[in-house]
Amino acid sequence: MRNRKTSSKALLMFSAVFLAVFVISFMIGKYPISLFELLQVGWGRFAGTTKTWSNEVELVLFRIRMPRILAGAMIGGGLSAAGAAYQGLFRNPMVSPDVLGASAGAGFGAAFSLYMGYGYATVTLIAFVCGVVSVGAAYIISTRVQHNPTLGMVLAGIMIGSLFNAGTSFIKLVADPNNVLPTITYWLMGSVAGVTTQKLSWAAGPVLCGMTVLLILRWRLNLLTMGEDEARSMGVNIRVMRIMVVIAATLITASCVSISGLIGWVGLVIPHFARMMVGYDYRALMPTCMLMGATFLLVVDNVARSIVTSEIPIGILTALIGAPFFLYLIMDRGNRI
C-alpha cells in the first residue's frame, strides 16, 4: 500500500483536475461561453448584482449544461465507487457495477416503460425499481448457496441479468420500428443529454447516500479483501457488511442507469486505474475512484457533444475508450491485476 502522504498528494491532484474539468465543461458546447462570461454569471447570481449578461447565456448554463454536468460527475463518481466496492467485496478485479443485474434490470424497466408509452418520470421510476428488484432476487437466490454465498450471489446476478436482457431484447423485437424502437435503442446506449433538473434531484439522493455509505465503510473493505476468515477474526460481521455494500452499490447503479441509460466500463476500468495511482488501500482508493470517475465521464461527455454535429451517446465512447485500455492492463500488467 502507498503511504498516507503520497495518497494525500494524489487526492489533492485529482481534486484539482476534477475542479478544472468541471469548470471547463460549462464553457464547451455548440454555444461556446467564455471564462469571463462564466465568472460574470456565476458571481452575479451568487452576489445578486445587476444582470449584465444575455438571457441565452443564462439559459444555456443553468437549464441545459448544469444538469448534465452535475449528472455526469455524479454518475461517473458513483459507478466508479460501486465498481471498486464490488471488486473488493467479491475479491475479483473483473467485477463491475452490473454484476448483480442492476443495470440489466433497470434497462428492462426503461425499455418496458418506453414501449408502453409512459412519460419520462415514470420511465425513471420503473427503471430504478426493476434494478433494485433484480439485485434483490439475486441476493435471495444466493442465500440458498450455503457453502459459498459470495459466489452464489455472483452467479445468481449473472442469471437474473440474462433474464432481464432477454426481456429487453424481446421488447425491442416487438416494438414499433419507426417510433418506439429508436427511442429504446438510443436510451440503452447511455447519455446524459436528456437529464433535467427534476431527474437529477430525484436520483441525487440515492446516489449520494450510497456513495456516503461506501466512503464510511472503505476501511472495512480493506479487511474483506484479505478473505472472509481474516475479516471475521478482526470482528467484521461479513453478512451485514456484504448486505450494506450491496445495498449502497445497488442504489448507486440503479439510480444512475435510471436517468442516463447503460454506461459501461466506467465502474470496471476506473478502479484499476485508481489502484495504479494510489495503491490498494480503500481509504485512499474509494475517494480517488470517485474523483477519477467523475472527471472521466465529464471529459467523455464534453467530447460527445463537441466532436460531431450530432451528439454521440457517451455509452459508445466509454466502450471505445474503456475496452482498449482494459486490454492494455491485461497485456501489460496481467500478473498484477
Q: Are 251 and 206 in contact (CB under 8 A)?
A: yes
Within 10 angstroms of residue 281's Cβ, the number of other Cβ atoms is: 20
What does pTM read for this prediction? 0.90
Instruction: Say what the pLDDT of residue 329 is.
Output: 67
Instruction: Say what the pLDDT of residue 2 is.
Output: 55
Instruction: Say what the pLDDT of residue 35 is.
Output: 87
Instruction: Say what the pLDDT of residue 221 is.
Output: 87
Question: Whose grid coordinates read 450530432?
Answer: 310
Give the tens place of pLDDT for each residue, 320-329.
887 787 777 6
Dist. CA 256–CA 72, nearest whole Å: 9
Dist. CA 208–CA 217, nearest whole Å: 14
How far from the centroid of its chain's Cα atoms is residue 83's Cα? 8
Residues of the chain below pLDDT 70? 1-4, 227-228, 329-330, 332-337
Give the tens place of pLDDT for each residue, 250-261.
999 999 999 998
255 phi/psi in degrees, rounded to 5: -65, -45
Q: Which three cell numbers stand for residue 4?
A: 498516507
Closest CA to 209 of 241, 242, 255, 264: 255
Q: Which three cell numbers stand for residue 308?
A: 460531431
Q: What is the CATH number of the domain that holds 312?
A: 1.10.3470.10
Dist. CA 32–CA 25, nearest whole Å: 10
Number of domains in the chain: 1
Q: What is the domain range of residue 60?
A: 4-333
